[in-house]
Structure 1
Amino acid sequence: MTLAPSTLSTVVDIDQLLAAARELRLAGRWERAALLLDSAAVTEPAARARIALAAAEVALERDWFAGTDTAAEHITEAKKVVPDGDWDMAFLQLRRDYGRLLLVGGVLSLGPAGKDPESLTALVEGARALHERAPDEVRRGWASMYLGLITDNHFADRAAAPAHYTAALRAAEAGPDDLLAREALRHLGDHDHDAGDHDLALDRWRRATALGARAGTVPGTLSQQMLLAVLARDTGDESGACALATEIARWAEAIGAGRLRAQATAFLAGTDPTAPPPGDGS
């Protein structure tokens, strides 16, 4: 007798399930990751909370790269089962708030112009609180990373942000945490690039690309390669820059990363994705 798939029951270790979903999420297989988590029939409260958090993170990352808007619902559902005061839940909410505040009228806006001052204050205070109560050094490093991002991209304080990225990099190297190190090197390299130090920017951006690849983040590695294309153009290698951007656009389209594809396509048309949008006040 053959059972229908919906009637089959398999016992799967929760840690292995979450690890598989994480790898799918990093690879840009967001729908498959979400379906895998949805298929887990668990009743134990702690396991339900971990799965709900993982599902919200899948949605958040999909929104970031694909330009969708699905994380709010998943975060609301996760808050129903995750204990109050949970650090990871608070960090997930901070990440969503950070990304949401980057858009003013649906348009990317760096700096404080057009943004609610109270929301910005709450955002940076939330990041500081997460830094203070982080349960381990890597999580403290992630809080430092977002303090830098908030300082850079919402307050336009380019002088203060690198210290936060440097603290995040130290925590990542102590962890170790390849994804955190990638993020820190990516943004430190951005400051090197703006300062005209192309050699140091190239070194950091190459390291960030390799770390992202080792961690298995396909869209993250593509976005990092976008910065290498920028540097190639800046140093006179226009043909190399366009060849790399063309492949980035092709890959991004293949995995459904619409926002990243649009960035690569705009680069091919002459736009610098590292430049602030015009009129953003930064």
Structure 2
Amino acid sequence: MTHTASTTVDLDQLLAAAHDLALSGRWERALGILDTTVCATPEDRARLALATAEAALLSDWFGGTDLTAARAARAEKEAPGADWDLGFIRLRHDYRCLLVSDGVFRPGPEGKDPEALAGIRRTAHGLRESAPDEVRRGWASMYLGLIVDNLSAERAAAPAHYEDALRAGDAGGDDLLSREALRHLGDHAHDGGDHVRAAECWERATALGARAGLVPGVLSQQLLLAVLARDTGDEAGARALATEVARWAEALGAHRLHAQTTGFLAGVDPTAAPPSENKA
């Protein structure tokens, strides 16, 4: 005879644990937990579906999977007329789809549908205007900056959006938002030849990512610090750091980051123009 047992777990704790797993690069484990969780109320089912879509998005971004669209559709089914958070997940998914093709970054408007570019920009503006709090407004500003920067190639317009995001992240205690803003502000400082400012931004972004448990993001930041080491003449330090990033990325299953890092070791600058740009 087969016996089954049920266990009651606080949903807030379960969702937080799954989110931490997804941030750390354990996307399959996070989704496995979420997919086997059963909720009794419509409200809890909607929260569960949203958390699953978020974990899928992290898997797609860092692990190269293609899971978000189906999970977002499921979240929409659980919460018809879904809220701001699902709209933001869809925005990030659409941004990734426009930026990355066959695992390669393809920034700029060339080859992209102008209506899709105009549409994603309108969506980002709308999310910023409708955000229910300052942190979420900051996240919308962050992605508006990414869209004008990496999709519309309007580099000069992006830093103001990143600064807005940084203020919101710092004021609201959202380490991931502050980390994201600093990552891209450092990129602009680096492109402008200000290596001191780039180091300040990227070192703080690395620490914030570590505090938030974003393991693949910390590794991607370490790669940028290796870029700075090479730029300032420390080739031995750059290679040592990049070798460890490559080792970790391969073990984690962060395939795109592993490819970028091995490319760096072969002499490719991951902050350069396409196809090897690493700005997201």
Answer yes or no: same fold by TM over 0.5: yes
- Determine if the alignment matches structure 1 residue 23 to structure 2 residue 58: no
Question: What code does the residue aligned with 2:208 have?
Answer: L
**1:203/1:106 Cα in 2 relative to 1: closer, same or farther (>3 Å)?**
closer
Number of corresponding residues: 277
Residues 186, 204 of structure 1: 8 Å contact kept:
yes
Question: What code does the residue aligned with 1:92 have?
Answer: I
Question: What code does the residue aligned with 2:56 have?
Answer: A
Unaligned runs of 5+ in 2: none
Question: Separation in 2 of the partners of 1:241 and 1:105?
Answer: 28
Counterpart for residue 186 of structure 1: 183
Once the two structures are superposed, the pairs formed by residues 128-147 of structure 1 within 5 Å of their partners are 128-147=125-144
Residues 25, 216 of structure 2: 8 Å contact kept:
yes
Question: Separation in 1 of the partners of 2:139 and 2:13?
Answer: 24
Counterpart for residue 153 of structure 2: 156
Counterpart for residue 68 of structure 2: 71
- Determine if the alignment matches structure 1 residue 270 to structure 2 residue 267: yes
Instruction: Summarize deviations over 1:55-83 as a string: whole Å, max 9, x none.
Output: 11111111111112121111111111124
Counterpart for residue 108 of structure 2: 111
Residues 21, 36 of structure 1: 8 Å contact kept:
yes
Question: What code does the residue aligned with 2:93 have?
Answer: R
Kindly report the root-mean-square deviation, in angstroms, between the aligned alpha carbons of the 2 structures. Answer: 1.6
Question: What code does the residue aligned with 2:27 have?
Answer: W
Counterpart for residue 54 of structure 1: 51
Q: Which of the numbers 194, 204, 207 marks the counterpart of 2:204?
A: 207
Question: Separation in 2 of the partners of 1:106 and 1:10?
Answer: 40
Deviation of 1:26 after TM superposition, in Å, equals: 0.6
Unaligned runs of 5+ in 1: none
Which structure is richer in relative contact order (CA contacts within 8 A, separation 6 or more)? Answer: 1
Question: What code does the residue aligned with 1:55 have?
Answer: T
- Determine if the alignment matches structure 1 residue 221 to structure 2 residue 207: no
Deviation of 1:279 after TM superposition, in Å, equals: 11
Question: Separation in 2 of the partners of 1:46 and 1:266?
Answer: 46
Question: Separation in 2 of the partners of 1:224 and 1:113?
Answer: 28
Percent identity between the aligned chains? Answer: 65
Question: What code does the residue aligned with 2:213 have?
Answer: G
Question: What code does the residue aligned with 1:48 have?
Answer: R
Residues 105, 275 of structure 2: 8 Å contact kept:
no
Residues 121, 144 of structure 2: 8 Å contact kept:
yes
Question: Separation in 1 of the partners of 2:68 and 2:6?
Answer: 29
Question: Separation in 1 of the partners of 2:264 and 2:166?
Answer: 29
Compare 61-70 and 92-101 and name the one that shifted more.
Answer: 61-70
Q: Which of the numbers 34, 40, 63 marks the counterpart of 2:31?
A: 34
Q: Which of the numbers 69, 80, 90 marks the counterpart of 2:87?
A: 90
**1:22/1:189 Cα in 2 relative to 1: closer, same or farther (>3 Å)?**
same
Question: Separation in 2 of the partners of 1:104 and 1:21?
Answer: 28
Deviation of 1:103 after TM superposition, in Å, equals: 3.1
Once the two structures are superposed, the pairs formed by residues 250-265 of structure 1 within 5 Å of their partners are 250-265=247-262
Question: Separation in 1 of the partners of 2:102 and 2:70?
Answer: 21
- Determine if the alignment matches structure 1 residue 231 to structure 2 residue 217: no
Residues 263, 273 of structure 1: 8 Å contact kept:
yes
Question: Separation in 2 of the partners of 1:237 and 1:127?
Answer: 40
Question: Separation in 1 of the partners of 2:172 and 2:18?
Answer: 22
Question: Separation in 1 of the partners of 2:141 and 2:273?
Answer: 23
Question: Separation in 2 of the partners of 1:279 and 1:19?
Answer: 34
